[in-house]
A and B are shown apart, each in its own frame.
Chain A
Amino acid sequence: MADVALQPRTAKRQIREATAWDQLRTNRNWLGFWFMLPAMAFLIFFLAYPLGLGVWISFTDAKIGRPGEYIGIENYEWLWGDSIFWLSVFNTLLYTFIASAIKFAIGLYLALLLNENMPFKAMLRALVLIPFIVPTVLSALAFWWIFDSQFSIISWSLKQIGLITENINFLGDVTWARICVIFANIWRGVPFVAITLLAGLQTVQPSLYEAATLDGASKWEMFRFITYPLLTPIIAVVMTFSVLFTFTDFQLIWAMTRGGPVNATHLMATLSYQRAIIAGQLGEGAAISSAMIPFLLAAIMVSWFGLQRRKWQQGENND
């Protein structure tokens, strides 16, 4: 009787459908989910949440120390007619475009140069990295001194040589100030571009160049038809990061000019800081920061779709 009584229970256990818990324990997809969970949590709490909070604050009249009320798009409407905001947008685009282009040109040149066999190559490569290892604020302070209106070493030297009679008004003149901050950004950013492109160049097989040499290809043709196509994915990644870093630059500008003279070097990031933290208008500052998102997304998309189109990376031909 005991056996008979047990039998249906056993049979019932055999045909029981897998519970959600069973699936969570054994299903491979769910296992993948478990492994992904820490990364997802990290992304949500430390990346998505702050971004979402920032965007939310931009729809409020929050002040420092007070959460504020929801005011819809009032902050954005206000910024739409704010000449200083548009000046900061112009400055940011100008700064990003010129600095990124020059950083790329110099970085590529240095990478090609350092990829050649030459004496003291290791030392030269290390030297290129120097601007990258100096803390940004420190280099910004150094540039501040170099371009100081009264104590510039450049003005002093040129005066000593007899080329000028008065100090150059580096950071006090609108055009000069823009040139100076762009120059400082290029100085800081070139090593990143150069070293990353150099790493990319090292992956190009020498046999390709040997074959091209046998075919009688010139240096330019080798660059145009071998180096450049193979380096394109690296260039896309490097330029994406370079544009993002330049667009969101803050420390260099804040330490050198604080956005001056007459707001001529205010980037969106520095204006956002001034309005939000210094002046206490958190909502407005957040709106300026949020207004950067479309520009940054556009920069990422260009690179993203550029990379997606290169199907040869997955073993297929280019579109």
Chain B
Amino acid sequence: MHDFTRRSLLQGGTALAAAGALTGPALFDFAKAWAQSAPWKAEKGAKLTVMRWKRFVPAEDDAFNAMVAAFKAATGTEMNVFSESFEDVQPKASVAANTGSGLDLAWGLHTLPQLFPTQVLQMNDVADYLGKKYGGWTDAAAVTCKQGNNWLGIPVATIGGYMTYRKSSVEKAGFKDFPKDFPGFLEMCKALKKNNTPAGFPLGHASGDANAWLHWILWGHGAYTVDKDNKVIINSPETVKALEYCKALSDTFIPGVASWNDSSNNKAFLAGELHCTANGISIYVAAKDDPNKKELTEDTYHALWPVGPIGKPTELQLCVPILAFKFTKYPNAAKAFVAFMLEKENYDKWLSGARGYLTHTLNAYDNSPVWTADPKNQVFSQASKRALPASGIGTPGEKAATAIADFLVVDMFANYCTGREDAKGAIAVTERQLKRIYR
């Protein structure tokens, strides 16, 4: 748990100052003024326990901690914040929901509020307040958090993943610009392999990266696991086409992708062995922070995911919503904190701290400084707008989350691409498992 000492605050402030953000006394002044006029007044003696996912970019954590400290000082709310790895957030939040104690707020992955809709505090007023003030919510973010007309949580941000590539290698492969459609992308990957500067995308159990790019291939061909009524429709000609395209693509990859986890492509790219992959901005940030990787940093660029035969973006981006539990003794403090997090004075500096790792879900932040501070960040600003919810065209919720967590789509593609199953067999296994989940 964090204990906000003067030292930790100063450290946080230093990091934020580097990002040119509202820090130190100014931040506290703003927080005090905000608390005076905010629609939600924290209960007297309020104490909030907050669980969040463990940060990947240290400066983001600093910004978050500074914001928490300012809220604490302005409202008198005691704040206990602790971090858990992505995989642990969901089980721990579920246990809290089940036992009715332990946590007031949980900040986790895309489907978290949908897992226990009867246990969460409805955030309609907070969503309304923020939406009106900041230009409305992006579609995918709203769909992820809403059940009917009710907001089960607030979509704080999206962790965007995009094409990360070496510009010199792509140009050498004969492409002045990064391809914008599937055929062009396949041709580029073939040429990259020919030049011994291969692309590579994980076909292993990489929770974030493997699910992201394989759902993109699937959806890009117009294939989905379930339809809008949650009927399993994976067994379709479109899925076969997606498998065939993926097989052709995987033949161009650097060897070893079937064993990759979420960190493998980062390592390979930074080592100079991989020349195109899909990832969050963390590869670029790590290269920028390493004085020995100046050349690699300059040569690294980002691009949007190419668009598939269906002619529109089909990206799976990771929304990270926050929810408050219904049993919290301090619902006003909880709502106030969530609203405070997304106020411009906080949110802009937070995005700056995340250096492009987090993408806004409120339209007014389209022009946040982080997206113009470095032109290579700009692509990531579109993550929340181009994303489909994790369920594709189906209903977001526990079932969609289970299908993703159990790597059903990943295994289907991996089975086919590695030759373990033919298309019919790979689809049949996946279809059976999906029917089990959506029964």
Q: Which residues from chain A sit less than 8 Å from chain B, CB to CB?
A: 63-67, 78, 81-84, 148-151, 166-167, 169-174, 177, 257-263, 274-275, 277-281
Contact = CB atoms under 8 A, between A and B. Distances in A.
B186 interface: no
B204 interface: yes
Contacts of A275: 406
19 contacts: A64-B91, A65-B95, A65-B97, A66-B94, A78-B436, A149-B257, A149-B259, A150-B271, A150-B273, A150-B274, A169-B259, A172-B204, A258-B204, A259-B205, A261-B258, A261-B414, A262-B258, A278-B405, A280-B401
Given A64-B90, A65-B115, A257 B405 contact: no
Contacts of A281: 402, 406, 437
Contacts of A177: 259
Contact of A262 (B254, B256, B420, B437): B420
Contacts of A261: 203-204, 258-259, 414, 418
Interface string B92-111: 01110110000000000000
A181 to B, nearest CB: 11
B267 A150 contact: yes
Contacts of B204: 172, 257-258, 260-261
A213 B432 CA distance: 67
B368 interface: no
Contacts of A78: 436
The 8 lowest CB-CB distance pairs between A and B, nearest first, are A149-B256, A65-B94, A261-B258, A171-B259, A172-B259, A279-B406, A172-B256, A279-B405
Contacts of B429: 83-84
A170 B259 CA distance: 9
Decide if the interface of chain A is mainly helix, strand, loop or mixed. Answer: loop
Nearest to B414: A262
B124 interface: no
Interface in B73-105: 87, 90-91, 93-95, 97-98
A170 B255 CA distance: 10
A171 B204 CA distance: 10
A155 to B, nearest CB: 10
B227 interface: no
Nearest to A265: B259
A150 B268 contact: yes
A258 B402 contact: no
Contact of A257 (B259, B268, B414): B259
B255 A172 contact: yes
Contacts of A67: 98
Interface residues of B, number: 43
B256 A150 contact: yes
Contacts of B436: 78
Nearest to A63: B398
A226 B221 CA distance: 71
B75 to A, nearest CB: 30
Contact of A263 (B87, B254, B411, B437): B411
Contacts of B267: 150-151
A301 B138 CA distance: 61
Interface string B384-426: 0000000000000010011001110001001100101000000
Nearest to B257: A172
Contacts of A260: 204-205, 258-259, 414
Interface string B187-220: 0000000000000000111000000000000000
Contacts of A278: 87, 405-406
Contacts of B255: 149, 166-167, 169, 172
B405 A172 contact: no
A182 B195 CA distance: 36
A141 to B, nearest CB: 12
B286 to A, nearest CB: 16
Contact of B94 (A64, A82, A169, A170): A64
A278 B256 CA distance: 24
B205 A258 contact: yes
Nearest to A260: B204
Interface string B309-327: 0000000000000000000
B264 interface: yes
Interface string B242-276: 00000000000011111111001001100101100
B98 to A, nearest CB: 4
Contacts of A169: 255-256, 258-259
B175 interface: no
A184 to B, nearest CB: 14
A64 B420 CA distance: 32
Given A66-B98, A260-B205, A280-B90, A149 B260 contact: yes
A157 to B, nearest CB: 17
B365 interface: no
A145 B411 CA distance: 24
B40 interface: no
A278 B437 CA distance: 14
